[in-house]
Amino acid sequence: MKASELVKDSWYIINNFGYDIRAKLIESARQGRGYKTIVLMDVRGTDAGFFDEMGGVHVDDIIKEYKTGVYFGMRKEYKVWN
């Protein structure tokens, strides 16, 4: 994804050591007149058996947006990377 398409507090699928893992964007990718190449994300490593951690992620490693939906008044997450 391009850095200009990233939105703060949104969920994304990232490529981490060959695994597709959910991550929440903590800070905006916008910086001054341009965009950052590394952004701070809350990475859910438990999707692949790792630890949940916060850290810097290269924008090139962000694959696509992770979508959540609402069904019958209940919030339910579904995987979109299959």
How far is the C-alpha of 25 from the C-alpha of 30, rounded, in Å?
12
The whole-chain average pLDDT of the chain stands at 83
**Residue 82 placed within a domain:** no
**Residue 63 placed within a domain:** yes
Q: What is the pLDDT of residues 17-35, one digit of tens each?
A: 888 899 999 999 898 889 9
- By residue range, what is the domain housing residue 63? 3-77
**Residue 20 placed within a domain:** yes
Into how many domains does the chain fold? Answer: 1
How far is the C-alpha of 77 from the C-alpha of 2, rounded, in Å?
24
**Residue 19 placed within a domain:** yes
What global pTM score does this model have?
A: 0.77
